[in-house]
Amino acid sequence: MKINVKLLKKEFVANNTMAFYLEKPANFEFIAGQFCEFNLINPTQADEEGNNRAFSLVSAPYEENLLIATRMRNTAFKNTLKSLTIGDEIKLEGPYGDYKLHKTNTKPAVFIIGGIGITPVRSIIAQATRDHLPHKITLFYSNKTPLDAAFTTDFEIFAKNNPNFTFIPIYTDYTEKKWEGEHQRINSDILKKYVTDIYSPIYYLSGPAEMVKSMREMLVSININEDNIKTEEFSGY
Q: Average pLDDT, whole number, for the chain?
A: 93
| CATH number of 119's domain | 3.40.50.80
Note the pLDDT tens digit of each residue in 22-60: 999 999 999 999 999 999 998 887 777 778 899 999 999
> Would residue 55 count as lying in a domain?
yes
Both 21 and 90 in a single domain? Answer: yes
Q: What is the pLDDT of residue 43?
A: 83
> Would residue 103 count as lying in a domain?
no
- The whole domain housing 59 covers 2-96
Q: Which of 26, 61, 96 is at the close of a domain?
A: 96
> Would residue 189 count as lying in a domain?
yes
Both 147 and 74 in a single domain? Answer: no
Q: Which of 61, 96, 131 is at the close of a domain?
A: 96
Number of domains in the chain: 2
Low-confidence ranges of the chain (pLDDT < 50): none
> Would residue 101 count as lying in a domain?
no
Q: Which of 96, 130, 145 is at the close of a domain?
A: 96
Q: Are 1 and 26 in contact (CB under 8 A)?
A: no
> Would residue 22 count as lying in a domain?
yes
> Would residue 56 count as lying in a domain?
yes
Q: What is the pLDDT of residue 235?
A: 59
Both 200 and 134 in a single domain? Answer: yes
Q: Which residues contact 214 (CB under 8 A, 6 or more apart)?
A: none
> Would residue 214 count as lying in a domain?
yes
